[in-house]
Homo-oligomer: A and B are copies of this chain.
Amino acid sequence: MDDRWGAMFRPDVLVPPLASGPLDGKTFAAKDNIDVAGYVTGAGNPDWLRTHKTASRHAEVVALLLEAGATLTGKTHTDELMYSLNGENVHYGTPVNPRAPGHVPGGSSSGSAVAVAAGLTDFALGTDTGGSIRVPSSYCGIYGIRPTHGRVSMDGVVKLAPSFCTVGWMARTATDLALVGDILFKANPGRGGMEAKRFTRCIVPVDILHLAEPSVLDPFLEALARLQSDFDVIRFETVAPEGLAVWKWAFRVLQGREIWKTHGAWIEAVHPTFGPGIAERFAWTRKLTEEEERLARRLRASAIRRLKALLDENTVLFMPTAPGGAPKVGLDTATLEGWRSKLMQFTCIAGLGGLPEITIPSMVVDGLPVGFSVIAARDQDERMLKWVVKWSERLVLSHPPTGREGGRTN
């Protein structure tokens, strides 16, 4: 495999299909927090790799895909313990964003996004706790889905914060994205059952538009304009009555408390070496208090109520996936933290609500890809995928080439 993009942690992995099925002939890669039998799962950190054993079985999602005919052709890089949205791993390097060389690929599913964007595999598995599929998909100009929380099995996957973690996937085309959904959602049918009905109402979050880079607004509204004929109602609404910054705080605190519960014991036992930013972040999760968790729980309950009121089964929410295109590689920690703080106000909506979100490679802003996101009520995943297959072609505002020639030049 020609991995000059640095997407792969283990390019040598090659697992043939376990059976023939709808994914015959398709190749995929899995983020290195997802077990593949016979390999140690590394989770982006050498100390984790060193202190864990070889996986004896495939993660459930890997098995399902292999049984459906797909071939696994590599394990991809992740940010350390999946706790970043950036894609710069101090131990293993930064995968090259094929659509924007010189800019980060986004994370934590950095290698999976790059593998797909560069055409190394047809699709790739990732995980998304606070944006780890949506953000790199947006930055790298590909499709990505974070399913309804709980819809796709996390068996055999290293978690970050269980009440937010999801397994999802990325693809270059809407049809491939939907094809994988056919397999994985069928394994755990939701309470949707509305696939045949169209979405009739859409909501545009005013508070998100305020936060987006000004140059995102024109292409976003251009994309929205192309969709309006399919909706009876388009409403511009403030999503977060408490403010998205407050929602983000609640998300970060709850995520942080769960992270420490999940990984604190290992960190205290092993004293792993973490890169800049990551070490501070883990130290911060350790200091969070019960009082903060209680206030954050209150706020999450309020956010869930609000999102339920906004999003009934016939309503979708449209927004830019991120405030803008990918930041440059090698920015200082303070600048990156500022960006992250803004970015998480975008990603915390689906995160707090446990809602499905699909990002479509629709916009190009200042030469960089920016995703167009669709969020819907819980368990509307299959219906959303159908919608994306039908409409996404219309949403792609430019069709830049993939590979080296792409990215900054278009």
Nearest chain B residue, comparing its CB with the CB of A245: B217
Which of A214, A218, A298 has the most chain B CB atoms closer than 10 A to its own CB?
A218
CA distance A292 to B218 in the complex (A): 10
Residues of B within 8 A of A236 (CB): 241-243, 246, 302
Are B249 and A206 closer than 8 Å at their CB atoms?
no
Identify which of residues 34-65 in chain A touch chain B, using a CB-to-CB cut-off of 8 Å.
Answer: none
User: In the complex, which of the residues B209, B291, B296 contacts A243, with contact meaning CB atoms closer than 8 Å?
Assistant: B209
Whether B341 contacts A214 by the Cβ 8 Å rule is yes
Binds B, one of A91-99, A148-156, A165-173, A219-227: A219-227
Within 8 A of B (CB), among A293-307: 294-296, 298, 302
Give chain A's interface secondary structure class: helix
A228 with B295, Cβ < 8 A, contacts A206-B242, A214-B245, A217-B249 known: yes
Residues of B within 8 A of A335 (CB): none
Encoded as 1 (CB less than 8 Å from any B CB) or 0, chain A from 282 to 296 comes to 000000010110111
Q: CA of A236 to CA of B299 in the docked complex: distance in angstroms?
A: 10
Q: Which of A213-257 contact B (CB under 8 A)?
A: 214, 217-218, 221-222, 224-226, 228-229, 234, 236, 238, 241-243, 245-246, 249
Q: Which of B214, B225, B242 contacts A294 (CB 8 A)?
A: B225
> Is A271 part of the binding interface, using a Cβ–Cβ cutoff of 8 Å?
no
Report the nearest B residue to A294, measured CB to CB.
B228
Q: Which residues of B contact A222 (CB under 8 A)?
A: 292
How far is A246 from B218 in the complex, measured between Cα atoms in Å? 9
Contact of B218 with A249 in the complex, beta carbons under 8 Å: yes
A210 lies within 8 A of chain B by Cβ: yes
Give A227's nearest chain B residue, CB to CB: B291
Q: How far is the CA of A217 from the CA of B252 in the complex (A)?
A: 13
A207 CB, nearest partner CB in chain B, Å = 9
